[in-house]
């Protein structure tokens, strides 16, 4: 298939496909007419990239999954390098969740203080006054 058909099937643009090609994530095969040619394996690669990016992985983090598929594995996450990326991403997510939990607690405490002031008087613990 040609680049336009692949872009349509993958739900992306030809520009994006050329970018992936320039980054080494999509193979750069050319037919005898000079046009780029793609197959069903390339559709699978793009589905893997898109799924990971939907999960918040950056493009470079998708590389081990793509390489795993390109080496003939049935799934992009069946190689050790892919599992390492999953582990790193989970660590990053855990850190963000911890930060957000702390911020949520602070906002909740500020809300309680503000509600106390609105309903009955000054709050000496309010960090935003004084």
Q: How many domains, in total, are found in the chain?
A: 1
Owner of token pair 């660590």: 91
Mind listing the pLDDT tens digit for each residue in 19-49?
999 999 998 888 889 888 999 999 999 999 9
Rounded Cα distance between 118 and 73, Å, is: 62
Please give the pLDDT value at position 98. 97
In a domain, 23, yes or no: yes
In a domain, 117, yes or no: no
State residue 11 phi and psi, 5-degree precision: 70, 40
Average pLDDT of 60-71?
95
CATH of the domain at 17: 1.10.1660.10
Average pLDDT of 63-83?
94
In a domain, 73, yes or no: yes
DSSP notation for the chain: --HHHHHHHHTS-HHHHHHHHHTTSS---B-TTS-B---HHHHHHHHHHHHHHHTT--GGGGHHHHHHHHTT-SSTTSSHHHHHHHHHHHHHHHHHHHHHHHHHHHHHHHHHHHHHHHHHS--TT-TT--
Range of the domain at 61: 3-78
DSSP notation for 54-85: HTT--GGGGHHHHHHHHTT-SSTTSSHHHHHH
In a domain, 62, yes or no: yes
In a domain, 93, yes or no: no
Q: Is the pTM of this model over 0.85?
A: no
Backbone torsion region of residue 2, taken as left when φ is above 0, otherwise alpha when ψ lies between -120 and 50, otherwise beta: beta
């Amino acid at each position: 298939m040609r680049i336009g058909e692949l872009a349509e099937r993958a739900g992306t643009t030809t520009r994006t496909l050329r970018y992936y090609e320039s980054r080494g994530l999509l193979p750069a095969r050319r037919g005898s007419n000079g046009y780029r040619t793609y197959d069903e394996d390339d559709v699978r690669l793009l589905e893997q990239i898109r799924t990971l990016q939907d999960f918040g992985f950056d493009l470079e983090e998708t590389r081990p999954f793509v390489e795993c598929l390109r080496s003939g594995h049935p799934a992009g996450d069946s190689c050790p390098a892919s599992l390492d990326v999953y582990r790193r991403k989970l660590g990053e997510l855990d850190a963000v969740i911890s930060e957000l939990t702390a911020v949520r607690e602070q906002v909740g405490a500020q809300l309680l203080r503000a509600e106390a002031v609105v309903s009955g008087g000054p709050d000496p613990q309010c960090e935003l006054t004084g």
